[in-house]
Structure 1
Amino acid sequence: MSHNPASPTSPVIDVPLHIRMQLSHAYFQHLAEKSGVDILHIKGYAFAEEIYPPGRSSTDVDILVRPEHLDRLVQSALKDGWEIKAHFETGSIFEHAMTLYHGSWGLADIHRYFPGIGNAQGSAFDTLWQHRRVREIAHYPCFLPSLVDSRIFVIVHAARSATQINSDIDHLHSSLTSADWQTMRDRVPDLGAELAFAAALGEIERFDKHPDYLLWKSVSEETPLYLQWRARFNHAQGPRRKTRVLLSILRVNRDHLAMELGHQPSPQEIREKFFSRFRVWGK
């Protein structure tokens, strides 16, 4: 009798992470097309060695969605078995991405905008979409930002890291010509990315009069915690958002804690996380 590879006694073959992530890109492109949604694949295996240093790996998929299509994509993913691991409001101080998880596909960050490019309403999506390109990922045609825009994404993303050495930017410095850099600098204003671009390259003091100067300085450099909170409060628009920033100082981010622990936190774990903040602030 021939062996049935789908029989219950067959060993389960774990798909290597780098292959699964590329397949996930193809999956989301197919889901978007089926749902009538415009998406752009960003970072990770979408950019791959065309942008990043050789050998760089990724553990999730990043998707930028046309703002008016966001709810449609999220609902389609939830119906297809995905679950929410972190909501927009708890994902980061920029509230820009929702983290989804699927038992087969893994993790995906769904971006309603990309911090440092355009504004929180996703104002830059049309500009990015007009210059989009097609690249096959897992043999499936996927939409990406243009090559120049992709490089800008990498630089702007680095602005959210306070480390002095960034291998992604170092790679771009070593692999691009001065003309390539000038092309990027000429394109940056079209994307409203001047402040974050400068912060990533250590040029933020040129924008010391900008309303969001302190915010980007606080995320791109080692900054005292009280200044980080002040920057978030100043950045928040309107009484409701400012109140939410103040409350977030006191509230434990349960989504983040759950991902950190690998399970839903117990009341005791929440209390421990809450009081640990005061030990950090006291240093």
Structure 2
Amino acid sequence: MDDPVMPWSVGIRFSHATLQVLAEDSGVDLLHVKGPAVDDRLTEGERQSIDADVLVRPAHVDRLVAAMHAHGWTTMYRFEDGSAFEHASTLVHGVLAPVDVHRSFPGIDGGDHAFDRLWADRHTVSIAGIACPVPSLAAQRLLLILHAARGGSLGSPDIRRSWDDASEQEREELMALARDVGAEVALAAGTGRLAAFDDRPGHDLWRVLSTRETSRARILLARVRAAPTRRAKVRTAVHLVVPNRRRMETRLGRPPTTREVAAAYFSRSRAGTHELVALLRAAARERRGR
């Protein structure tokens, strides 16, 4: 007889519970987000997730990762291997579901203050029998909207339940929270109000993200413009052009060869250059036509 297979949703709950125990033992502040941590008022039935997500106080990230490694977890993707936001690291375990450890949340630009604000309004819910801190209802609305907007899912049920179905008072509370944690532009992108923020640094980035822009050049330019410093702009550009060796290794099932990395770099650079040239030509034609 085959051994019974644990449902994936159960494995995710156990991962949340395990992370909470590790956090408490290590003196780590973390908030459980998405998946089973979402308030029932913002979901319909069981939420489908592929991993457990936690948002960690930035100063405690290294401590948590060290505790996870000591508990049998291994790092699959580092923060630098993820999105251009470099916001999350993926760790895997031989028995438990994978975990995304977030040191920040895309769209929230308030840094340490933002986590302090979310942490101050936390409450606990039971996940796999363990009391786990989760953000306030308003903060959960915000995180769900930002996540949907970043993925270009403006018709997402998460946005409908978190914004469209919210009362005027709930929307005011949500917008006040967004102002406090530096998420006004991203929230506006997810709620159809982005035009009011066209003078803000993150406007172009959240426009291309929320509309699922396919042009590499437009995405690159928007991300570079949104970077806060010159060094960050260079780092962002490099991140988007240079092939990610770790992700190539996962896809190939082995370390990529130097030739394969060079070929990937050439392909991405050529495609990006062609789109950038076309974009600049279009902009020049537009200026001449004015």
TM range (shorter): 0.7 to 0.9
Structure 2 counterpart of 1:122, from 112, 117, 120: 112
Change (3 A) 1:106 1:272: farther
Q: Partner residue of 2:25?
A: 34
Aligned to 2:221: 230
Q: How far has the Cα of 1:241 moved from its partner?
A: 2.8
Question: Does 2:34 correspond to 1:43?
Answer: yes
Is 1:248 aligned to 2:247, yes or no?
no
Counterparts of 1:63 and 1:277 in 2: how far apart (Å)? 32
Equivalences, count? 272
TM-score, normalised to structure 1, is 0.86
Residue 108 (str. 1) matches residue 96 (str. 2): no
- Output aligned runs, 1:1-283, within 5 Å: 11-47=2-38, 49-119=40-110, 121-173=111-163, 175-223=165-213, 224-259=215-250, 261=251, 263-267=253-257, 270=261, 273-277=264-268, 281=272
State the alpha-carbon separation in 2 of the partners of residues 34 and 241 from structure 1: 35
Tell me, in whole angstroms, the C-alpha distance in 1 between the residues paired with 2:116 and 2:222: 29
| 2:32/2:132 contact within 8 Å kept | yes
RMSD in angstroms over aligned alpha carbons?
2.3
**1:46-100 alpha-carbon deviations (Å, 9 max, x no partner):** 1164422334311101111111111100111111111111111221111111111
Instruction: Give the secondary-structure state (helix, strand or coil) at the position aligned to 2:38.
Output: helix
Q: Secondary structure at the match of 1:141?
A: strand
Q: Partners in 2 of 1:262 and 1:145 — Cα distance?
A: 38
Q: How far apart in 2 are the matches of 1:238 and 1:279?
A: 26
In 2, distance between residues paired with 1:63 and 1:147? 16
CA distance in 1, matches of 2:41, 2:96: 24
Deviation at 1:280, TM superposition (A): 5.3
**2:249·2:256 contact (CA, 8 Å) conserved in 1?**
no
TM value normalised by structure 2: 0.84
Change in Cα spacing, 1:164 to 1:147, as seen in structure 2 (3 Å) is: closer
What is the identity percentage for the equivalent residue pairs of Structure 1 and Structure 2? 36
The 3 A distance-change label for structure 1 pair 201 and 102 is same
* Whole-Å separation in 1 of the counterparts to 2:140 and 2:112: 16
How far residue 271 of structure 1 moved from its aligned partner, in angstroms, is 5.1
- C-alpha separation in 2, matches of 1:155 and 1:124: 16
* SS, match of residue 122 in structure 1: helix
Give the superposition deviation at 1:234.
2.1
Q: Find the aligned partners of 1:238 and 1:118 in 2 and give their Cα distance.
A: 14
Tell me, in whole angstroms, the C-alpha distance in 2 between the residues paired with 1:17 and 1:262: 25
The answer to whether the 8 Å contact 1:113/1:122 transfers is no
For the Cα contact (< 8 Å) 1:112–1:122, is it kept in 2? no
**Shift in Å, 1:173:** 4.8
- Contact 1:48/1:56, CA 8 A, preserved across alignment: no
Asked if the contact 1:258–1:264 (Cα under 8 Å) also holds between the matched residues in 2, the reply is yes
> Letter of the aligned partner of 1:100 in structure 2?
L
Larger helix fraction of residues: 2
SS in 2 for 1:219: helix
Give the counterpart letter for 1:104 in structure 2.
V
